[in-house]
């Protein structure tokens, strides 16, 4: 899933208003960042199906970044890091942990059954909504809208950037990602894809971090 994770990250700002939304968005995309790293070091794989022009989605072998048990582990680890970094703010730790695990849940809706429960040879989960692409893209757009509405209620700003920056940026990212998937008929080499996921995650989180700083908690 693409921009849907951004929507969830923004929505979770409701849980701890003092936590910058950039951290929540980074947490919501953490599993894709790990996927990028693991593809680059060769322990996970991305596959380009021969019928990509009809499918518009790639296939993955990713037990360590996107497995159910692995995702729970990453969520717990991220929550503990947040707990330490915020000097014991439990709500911040919960929000970060929930953001990480939400990635697995949303991916399980759209991916075909390829998310392993545990290791590489365990049963695989995935409802395959990507096979009904308009519905999948509509779900992602809806998540972004809900995320923006919930986020808007958390803070306030006197400046135009603080007021309109986040909705404009989230809308632009959503259109770019969804159009990219709807029009995907070819894919770059795995290393380029992996580098793209890492850079995109860091870039989006950084912009959200900066935009969130333009607002004050209500
Ligand atoms: Zn993912």
d(CA 182, CA 57): 9
DSSP per-residue letters across 155-188? EE-SSHHHHHHHHHHHHHHHHHHHHHHHT-----
Q: How many whole angstroms from 107 Cα to the centroid of ligand 1?
A: 6
User: Measuring CA to CA, which residue among 24, 29, 31, 26 is closest to residue 10?
Assistant: 24
Per-residue confidence (pLDDT) for residue 120, from 0 to 100: 82
Q: How many whole angstroms from 26 Cα to the centroid of ligand 1?
A: 12
Alpha-carbon torsion, ordered 80, 201, 101, 92, to 10 deg? 40
pLDDT in tens, 103-143: 999 999 999 999 999 988 899 999 999 999 999 999 999 99
Per-residue confidence (pLDDT) for residue 216, from 0 to 100: 84
Q: How many whole angstroms from 28 Cα to the centroid of ligand 1?
A: 9
User: Measuring CA to CA, which residue among 132, 117, 149 is closest to residue 10?
Assistant: 149
Per-residue confidence (pLDDT) for residue 123, from 0 to 100: 94
Q: How many whole angstroms from 214 Cα to the centroid of ligand 1?
A: 29
Instruction: Decide: 191 and 40 in contact? Cβ < 8 Å.
Output: yes
Per-residue confidence (pLDDT) for residue 86, from 0 to 100: 96
Q: How many whole angstroms from 163 Cα to the centroid of ligand 1?
A: 30
Q: How many whole angstroms from 164 Cα to the centroid of ligand 1?
A: 28
Q: How many whole angstroms from 66 Cα to the centroid of ligand 1?
A: 7
Ion ligand 1 nearby residues (CB, 5 A): 32, 107
Using 70 as the pLDDT threshold, list the residues of the chain that sit under it: none
d(CA 8, CA 28): 7
């Amino acid at each position: 899933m693409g921009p849907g994770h951004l929507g969830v990250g923004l929505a979770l700002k409701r849980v701890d208003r003092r936590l910058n939304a950039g951290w929540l968005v980074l947490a919501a995309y953490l599993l894709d960042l790990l996927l990028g790293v693991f593809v680059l070091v060769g322990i996970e794989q991305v596959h380009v199906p021969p019928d990509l022009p009809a499918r518009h989605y790639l296939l993955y072998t990713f037990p360590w970044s996107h497995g159910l048990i692995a995702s729970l582990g990453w969520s717990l680890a991220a929550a503990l890091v947040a707990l330490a970094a915020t000097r014991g703010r439990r709500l911040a730790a919960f929000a970060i942990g929930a953001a990480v695990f939400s990635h697995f849940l949303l991916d399980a809706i759209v991916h075909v059954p390829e998310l392993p429960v545990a290791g590489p040879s365990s049963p695989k989960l995935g409802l395959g909504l990507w096979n009904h692409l308009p519905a999948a893209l509509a779900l992602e757009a809806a998540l972004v809208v809900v995320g923006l509405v919930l986020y808007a209620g958390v803070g306030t700003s006197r400046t135009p950037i603080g007021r309109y920056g986040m909705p404009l940026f989230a809308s632009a990212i959503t259109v770019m990602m969804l159009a990219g998937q709807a029009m995907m008929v070819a894919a770059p080499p795995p290393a380029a894809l992996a580098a793209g996921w890492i850079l995109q995650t860091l870039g989006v989180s950084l912009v959200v971090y900066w935009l969130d700083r333009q607002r004050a908690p209500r």
